[in-house]
């Protein structure tokens, strides 16, 4: 039987509820003792559904509990950095959803607090834990594909987020493509040197009026010559489009979309298959479970978290470089972003 780890969750929104369900019912050795949210009724509803004993509006009630060993931060992005610093000062190990912050200075301050406290920090880039993408990573590391020449990532949402969210999210490069920046680093095993981005408003003029774009393509160049492309769209009418391809000197591998069934119906009218799973909770449920198990294991085994604070910082640099490239219509070296 695995050593029990007492955990508290800060934030009872959609992703907080998902992690809560996993910690309560699907992760051996995890004991979820409390959940908090600035909207007490949201925390209470989640606690009632799952049987979580502690329910608070003030997250400090969780941080002050000496029995709580780790916290899972699922609150709004603008609170992440300060909550990391508070949790570190309280001696708690930390899992935090991405991004830590939209400003590099605030990220660096949070990482410094973690280092000073000597606690662990894992950041929620869950797609690394998807079985399909993980297998591509393994094939690359095994040398099956030879030298990697090109990586291609497609990420398209089924519907755009609310305009109020767009206004505070940091834009498409920092709230959506940030997952793909992490994935391209993960697969390449290297850092991009240069970014070039183009974009447009093709879906909703209100997104443009909010200062963002809803359609974007980014190319990246790595030190070893590998090239990568990422394309994002805020709306794919057929569902959540999540595909990855790696092409090398010895071959190619690609991961297609996950669908509810693998049935293909062929009739005189045509050939039909299921649409992709609708959105991120449905598509990536198992990867969310795997990343939280990994967090519990790194605490229990006293090992390095599989996604570190530095792993969280670099995609923000990449996102800022992409935004600058889009605005100035030129390639931007990552070294330009301080």
Dist CA 238 CA 275 (whole Å): 6
Over residues 150-156, mean pLDDT: 98
pLDDT for 2 equals: 79
Residue 53 pLDDT more than 80? yes
Q: Where in the chain is the domain with CATH 3.40.50.720?
A: 5-119
Tokens representing 16 are: 């907080």
Looking at the chain, the whole-number percentage of residues with pLDDT higher than 90 is 99
8 A C-beta contact, residue 292 and residue 23: yes
Closest CA to 255 of 106, 151, 104, 179: 151
pLDDT for 1 equals: 66
**Pairing verdict, β 93-97 and 121-124:** parallel
Over residues 128-145, mean pLDDT: 98
Give how far Cα 203 sits from Cα of 31, 157, 311, Å. 44, 12, 31
Q: Among the CATH numbers 3.30.360.10, 3.40.630.10, 1.10.3470.10, 3.30.70.270, which is that of 128-283+315-336?
A: 3.30.360.10
8 A C-beta contact, residue 197 and residue 322: yes
Q: What is the mean pLDDT of the chain?
A: 97
Q: Where in the chain is the domain with CATH 3.30.360.10?
A: 128-283+315-336
pLDDT for 282 equals: 93
Phi, psi of 63 (to 5 degrees): -65, -30
214 Cβ contact list (under 8 Å, min separation 6) = 160, 172, 200, 201, 202, 203, 204, 207, 208, 233, 234, 235
Q: Lay out the sheet containing 227-233: strands in order across.
A: 251-255, 241-248, 148-156, 227-233, 215-222, 192-200, 332-333
Distance of CA 52 to the CA centre of its chain: 25
Residue 137 pLDDT more than 70? yes
8 A C-beta contact, residue 258 and residue 242: yes
pLDDT for 263 equals: 96
Phi, psi of 158 (to 5 degrees): -75, -20
Q: Among the CATH numbers 3.10.20.440, 3.40.50.720, 3.90.870.10, 3.30.750.200, which is that of 5-119?
A: 3.40.50.720
Q: Where are the beta strands (DSSP E) in 86-147?
A: 93-97, 121-124
Over residues 46-72, mean pLDDT: 98
Over residues 311-335, mean pLDDT: 98
Residue 172 pLDDT more than 80? yes
pLDDT in tens, 226-277: 999 999 999 999 999 999 999 999 999 999 999 999 999 999 999 999 999 9
pLDDT in tens, 91-135: 999 999 999 999 999 999 999 999 999 999 999 999 999 999 999
210: confidence class by pLDDT, cuts 50, 70, 90: very high
Residue 331 pLDDT more than 80? yes
Closest CA to 102 of 335, 319, 330: 319
Dist CA 184 CA 116 (whole Å): 30
């Amino acid at each position: 039987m695995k050593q029990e780890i007492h955990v508290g969750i800060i934030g009872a929104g959609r992703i907080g509820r998902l992690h809560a369900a996993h910690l309560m019912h699907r992760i051996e050795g995890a004991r979820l003792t409390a959940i908090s949210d600035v909207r007490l009724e949201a925390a209470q509803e989640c606690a009632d559904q799952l049987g979580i004993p502690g329910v608070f509006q003030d997250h400090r009630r969780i941080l002050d509990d000496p029995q709580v060993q780790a916290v899972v931060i699922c609150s709004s992005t603008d609170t992440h950095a300060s909550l990391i610093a508070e949790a570190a000062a309280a001696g708690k190990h930390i899992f935090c959803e991405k991004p830590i912050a939209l400003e590099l200075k605030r990220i660096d301050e949070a990482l410094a607090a973690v280092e000073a406290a000597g606690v662990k920090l894992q950041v929620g880039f869950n797609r690394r834990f998807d079985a399909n993408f993980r297998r591509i990573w393994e094939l690359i590391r095994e040398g099956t594909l030879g030298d990697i020449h090109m990586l291609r990532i497609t990420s398209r949402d089924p519907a755009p987020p609310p305009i109020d969210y767009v206004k505070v999210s940091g834009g498409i490069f920092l709230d959506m493509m940030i997952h793909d920046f992490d994935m391209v680093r993960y697969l390449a095993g290297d850092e991009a040197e240069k970014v070039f981005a183009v974009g447009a408003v093709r879906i909703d003029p209100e997104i443009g009026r909010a200062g963002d774009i809803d359609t974007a393509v980014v190319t990246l160049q790595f030190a070893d010559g590998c090239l990568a492309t990422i394309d994002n769209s805020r709306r794919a009418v057929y569902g959540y489009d999540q595909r990855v391809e790696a092409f090398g000197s010895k071959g190619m591998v690609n991961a297609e979309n996950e669908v509810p069934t693998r049935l293909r119906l062929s009739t005189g009218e045509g050939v039909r298959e299921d649409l992709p799973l609708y959105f991120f909770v449905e598509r990536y449920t198992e990867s969310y479970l795997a990343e939280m198990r990994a967090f519990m294991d790194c605490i229990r085994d006293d090992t390095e978290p599989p996604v570190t604070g530095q792993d969280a910082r670099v995609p923000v640099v990449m996102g800022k470089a992409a935004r600058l490239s889009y605005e100035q219509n030129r390639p931007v070296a990552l070294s330009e972003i301080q």
